[in-house]
Amino acid sequence: CVHHIRVKENTTLAELERLYPKLRGRTGAVCTEEFARANGAILLNRSKD
């Protein structure tokens, strides 16, 4: 999942979902550490919003 875009000038969450259909419904506020781990994440990046 993707919680936020690091460089907002490069893309949007909606664009990521369009380009990568597996991300649909897995971007934005829903992407918490708990959600990510429940969906198989083994690596987390805690960059700031």
According to the 3-state scheme, what is the secondary structure of 1-13?
A: CECCCCCCCCCCH
Distance separating alpha carbons of residues 12 and 5, to the nearest angstrom? 7
Distance separating alpha carbons of residues 22 and 28, to the nearest angstrom? 14
pLDDT at 49: 67
pLDDT at 46: 85
Q: For residue 2, what are the β-bridge partners? A: 27
pLDDT at 35: 98
Among 43, 1, 33, which Cα is nearest to 20's?
1
